[in-house]
Amino acid sequence: MIVAALIFIILGVLIKYGKMYWLIAGYNTMPKEEKEKYNIEGIANLFRNVLCGMGLIIISGYLITAFTENPNIQNYAFWSSMIIGIPYLLIKSNAKKYKIKN
């Protein structure tokens, strides 16, 4: 689980600071005119925040599991981060907030 958490954090940092926007599904296949209609910096910031948050929740679950010796907590943390993080990311990234008005 720690590996998954670190992958989320690394992907979030790469998308935001490494400008690896091609990791965002659908963005890399858009024509240039369509890409100009979106605030990619804002979307990249959202991706970084959500992916790092998901990673930190998973790491927290792992650490709590280590101290309490209750393996269920790690599973709850992982699945909670997935069930909350992925829909949140999809809904927020498709919001009008990130579309540039012409």
43 within 8 A of 98, measured Cβ to Cβ: yes
Rounded to an integer, what distance in angstroms lies between the CA atom of residue 47 and that of residue 56?
14
Over the chain (102 residues), the average pLDDT of each successive run of 10 is 94 94 89 91 95 96 94 94 96 90 71
